[in-house]
Amino acid sequence: MRRTVVAMTLLAAATLPLAGGCHGAAAKDLDVTKGTQEDHRRTNHLAGEKSPYLLQHQHNPVDWYPWGEAAFSKARAEKKPIFLSIGYSTCHWCHVMERESFENEEIAGFLNAHFVSIKVDREERPDVDRVYMTFVQASTGQGGWPMTVFLTPELKPFFGGTYFPPNSRFGQPGLKDVLTQVQELWASHPGDLRQSADGIVRQLSGAAAPPATTNLVLSTALLEKAADRLEAGYDPQYGGFGPAPKFPHPSQLLFLLAYGASHGDREAVRRVLYTCDRMAAGGLHDQLGGGFARYSTDAQWLVPHFEKMLYDNALLASVYIQAYQESGESRYADTVRDILGYVLRDMTDPQGGFYSAEDADSEGKEGKFYCWTLAEMTALLTPAELETAVRTFGVTQDGNFVDHSDPNPLPGQNVLSLVHPDLKPGQDKLLASARKKLLAARSRRVRPHRDDKILASWNGLMLGAFAQAHAVLGDKAYLEAARQNLGFVRSRLWDRSSHTLYHRWRDGERDSVQLLGGYAFMLAGVLDTYEATLDADTLGFALELADAMMSRFYDRDNGGFWQTPADNADLILRSKEDYDGPEPSGNSVATLAFLRLAEIAGREDLAKAAELTLRSYAGRLEEQPGALPHLLLAAALWTEPRTRVVIAGDARSPAGLELLRATHAVYRPFKVVMGTTGPVESFARTLPAVNGKPAAYVCVGTTCRPPVTTAQALRESLR
């Protein structure tokens, strides 16, 4: 047993943790298409999959299997340990490890002889990822992707890490040494490893146990304390929170803006708006093509990790929409249009679904698609355009981005940012012309790889962003995008007969996976669409989703929502998400959506489910508010006086639409909007139009103000 402990201690030093996720981008151009008749390369068991990440590995000499019973039964029958590798298609270090190790014939041969190798796309199966990431973080102190975990044939982990180099270097064992030691230990001490794995699963089960409900009162004092804790990490120079690498943290921004506006904390509002200004001006924001990159490698938002994710852009669109509502400043609306224009142009399937991500690399070099040299710009622009663009974007001969690719790094690369946004008279036209020429030239470059799978969860977030943007900005193209997306989801991912929402669609097929995040994020987006349109059928779909969530995911004894249904047989444990990271957790989004829907539809059971969930996480909200800022939004909605705006009469008439637009023009956090038809709560159905005209009723708590029939009167009432 001592040998096992010593060997595993040595193995623990082999990992090179990548905290916070996969940094960088793909190391080579990626072909995720299936082999054609002309493609005679060997394939493994991933060749029939739909995930772009899995298809990237279909020609590896490693005999990869997808996550599923075929691999599990092979491991049990051959009594081999499982080599589990988890990543995603736009992850740089995932592709580095593929190039270095999984395309290496020697390493592949050893894996094929002694292990059953499984590949998992963490975006398709975040439930699988969460189980083993919890183990890796607990055992190594850090996590990230690619994630490497060794399992027993019963799927129980006994050792894991993140990226491994192929050979030992800098005092750290390489993958070859790790594989050799694990194989020797499995051959000589299988009982010890199984016993260790059993103990690990017991510990994981304890960590995944639902939190106990508390008697802690959800109050304004708790929200104030949480806001103070969140603001403690504010960067007064560049905005945002924390040091480099700096992430936008949309959920934190949404809570602080809502809290500041509703409690008169103008400093909190100022900090959010300043952060929005600095992010929009930085290289994090694609100054030519729109949209935001994953994060900034520095504190000032200048040099991004160029990877673009759908969920980041959906959440940031919501942040900028609310920043515009609160401030009235048109620059925030311009940023919203910029984000959504990028999504419509580059990330929307012809049938209405939204794609998942774009890589950071093209032609083997990070940022090559996005960066510019002074010489390239000089060749494209007139002297006047060049002078304006160079000054505005801070372009220099030496550049501001260092290409670390090897060999032959690109010199003089510039990430465009708004260094001098103040323009002299007439320069606005010069800058617009320069942007147009630069974007046209960039569009002819080799594009980064695009992950074109369509996920219910991330589509729900972007659906909500388009619906909110239409409600606030009035652009009918955004409403059309929302309607097409909702139609796509209902026809491709929703099984009406069984009230089942599946998680992924790609290449004409959906998967068989159900996840809380898919239901919760989609419910939130459907509610946004209902509040933007007051369409009764949309509200009916929201209720169908909510009822399906209750039956499949809700913990009736302790509150909270499980990440997976009870009948999910390919997981060693069932867990609850309790962290709002780059994506908010399914628990947080579900709780907030249930509170909103309970107000609109008069569903007390949904309100009670949300309340019990908030009580179960109240202690964590007080002690670690930064872990659950999106759930703080739900806590605020629960504790604040609730505002309901009811539009009575024909909401689709010009007068009704004018009232609906006025409702959304005013930033009133924690309000819900509803009509008087369809499955709305009973009191709303009794409210009449006024003299045959649509009327708006503003109700706070149990009191409703007299109805108003003009947009101006409604805006004044809401203010």
Residue 630 lies in a domain: no
Handedness of CA 513, 515, 518, 524 (dihedral sign): positive
Q: In the predicted model, is pLDDT for residue 526 greater than 60?
A: yes
Specify the pairing of strand 308-309 against strand 357-358: antiparallel
Q: In the predicted model, is pLDDT for residue 133 greater than 60?
A: yes
> Averaging pLDDT over each range in 216-230, 526-540, 608-622, which range is the top one?
526-540
Q: Residue 40 has what pLDDT?
A: 64
Residue 680 lies in a domain: yes
pLDDT, tens digit, 9 for 90 and up, residues 439-497: 999 999 999 999 999 999 999 999 999 999 999 999 999 999 999 999 999 999 999 99
Confidence of residue 569 (pLDDT cuts 50, 70, 90): confident
As a residue count, the chain comes to 719
pLDDT, tens digit, 9 for 90 and up, residues 657-715: 999 999 999 999 999 999 999 999 999 999 999 999 999 999 988 888 999 999 999 99
Q: Are 365 and 26 in contact (CB under 8 A)?
A: no
Q: Which residue has the tokens 């929307």?
A: 348
Q: Residue 4 has what pLDDT?
A: 34
Q: What is the pTM of this model?
A: 0.93
Q: Residue 373 has what pLDDT?
A: 98
Stretch among 165-174, 207-216, 261-270, 684-693 having the lowest mean pLDDT: 207-216
Chosen domain end from 190, 208, 226: 208
Give kind and range of the element (H or E) at residue 699.
strand 695-700
Q: Rounded distance, CA 71 to CA 183, Å? A: 18
Confidence of residue 407 (pLDDT cuts 50, 70, 90): confident
Chosen domain end from 394, 417, 444: 444
Inter-CA distances, 309 with 123, 227, 276, 452, 606, Å: 11, 27, 18, 11, 31
Token digits of residue 320: 């900028």
Give kind and range of the element (H or E) at residue 362.
strand 361-362
Confidence of residue 36 (pLDDT cuts 50, 70, 90): very low
Give kind and range of the element (H or E) at residue 698.
strand 695-700
pLDDT, tens digit, 9 for 90 and up, residues 94-103: 988 999 999 9
Reported in sequence order, the residue ranges of 549-649 that DSSP labels E, i.e. its strands, are: 643-648
Residue 483 lies in a domain: no
Inter-CA distances, 453 with 190, 349, 353, 524, Å: 39, 10, 9, 21
Q: Residue 701 has what pLDDT?
A: 81
pLDDT, tens digit, 9 for 90 and up, residues 168-190: 988 777 999 999 999 999 999 99
pLDDT, tens digit, 9 for 90 and up, residues 429-454: 999 999 999 999 999 999 999 999 99
Instruction: Check which CATH number belongs to the domain holding 23 and give it.
Output: 3.40.30.10
Residue 663 lies in a domain: yes
Q: Rounded distance, CA 104 to CA 62, Å? A: 9
Q: Rounded distance, CA 176 to CA 344, Å? A: 45
Closest C-alpha to 471, from 315, 257, 281, 324: 324
Q: Rounded distance, CA 664 to CA 529, Å? A: 12
Q: Rounded distance, CA 2 to CA 10, Å? A: 12
Q: Which residue has the tokens 């819900």?
A: 672
Q: Rounded distance, CA 573 to CA 604, Å? A: 31
Amino acid present at 425: P
The residues, ordered by sequence, that sit 6+ positions from 88 with a Cβ below 8 Å of its Cβ are 22, 53, 94, 121, 122, 123, 145, 357, 451
Confidence of residue 324 (pLDDT cuts 50, 70, 90): very high
Chosen domain end from 146, 178, 208: 208
Q: Region 276-300: what's the mean pLDDT?
A: 97
Residue 344 lies in a domain: no
Q: Which residue has the tokens 């017991």?
A: 202
Q: In the predicted model, is pLDDT for residue 52 greater than 70?
A: yes
Confidence of residue 107 (pLDDT cuts 50, 70, 90): very high
Percentage of the chain with pLDDT > 90? Answer: 85
pLDDT, tens digit, 9 for 90 and up, residues 602-623: 999 999 999 999 999 999 998 8
Q: How far is CA 233 from the centre of its chain?
A: 22
Give kind and range of the element (H or E) at residue 84.
strand 82-87
Residue 545 lies in a domain: no
Q: In the predicted model, what is the mean pLDDT of the chain?
A: 92
Confidence of residue 22 (pLDDT cuts 50, 70, 90): low
Closest C-alpha to 51, from 347, 455, 448, 352: 455
Q: Are 86 and 122 in contact (CB under 8 A)?
A: yes
Inter-CA distances, 52 with 47, 121, 225, 343, Å: 11, 9, 44, 19
Q: Which residue has the tokens 């147009």?
A: 436
Q: Are 281 and 365 in contact (CB under 8 A)?
A: no
Other C-beta atoms closer than 10 Å to the C-beta of 701 total: 9
Q: In the predicted model, is pLDDT for residue 214 greater than 90?
A: no
Q: Rounded distance, CA 611 to CA 224, Å? A: 19
Residue 505 lies in a domain: no
Q: Rounded distance, CA 139 to CA 337, Å? A: 44
The residues, ordered by sequence, that sit 6+ positions from 463 with a Cβ below 8 Å of its Cβ are 354, 482, 485, 486, 489, 522, 525, 526, 528, 529
Residue 265 lies in a domain: no
Higher pLDDT, 40 or 654: 654
Q: What is the largest CA-CA distance in the chain?
A: 87
The range of the structural domain enclosing residue 388 comes to: 370-444
CA dihedral 405, 28, 62, 65 (to 10 degrees): 130
Token digits of residue 135: 């183990």
Q: Residue 371 has what pLDDT?
A: 98
Q: Are 212 and 220 in contact (CB under 8 A)?
A: no
Q: Could you write out the DSSP letters of every residue in 573-596?
A: --------SSSPPHHHHHHHHHHH
Q: Could you give the angle at which helices 310-327 and 456-473 cross, rounded to 10 degrees?
A: 20
Backbone angles phi, psi at 455, to 5 degrees: -105, 135
The residues, ordered by sequence, that sit 6+ positions from 398 with a Cβ below 8 Å of its Cβ are 412
Q: In the predicted model, is pLDDT for residue 2 greater than 80?
A: no
The residues, ordered by sequence, that sit 6+ positions from 417 with a Cβ below 8 Å of its Cβ are 281, 282, 283, 285, 287, 301, 302, 393, 394
Q: Residue 638 has what pLDDT?
A: 94
Q: In the predicted model, is pLDDT for residue 26 greater than 50?
A: no
Q: Residue 208 has what pLDDT?
A: 78
Q: Residue 567 has what pLDDT?
A: 87
H helical segments located in 474-568: 476-488, 516-533, 536-553
Q: Residue 219 has what pLDDT?
A: 87
CA dihedral 334, 23, 207, 194 (to 10 degrees): 150
Count: domains in the chain: 3
Backbone angles phi, psi at 654, to 5 degrees: -55, -40
- Paired residues of 357 in beta bridges: 309, 451
Q: In the predicted model, is pLDDT for residue 27 greater than 80?
A: no
Q: Are 380 and 374 in contact (CB under 8 A)?
A: no
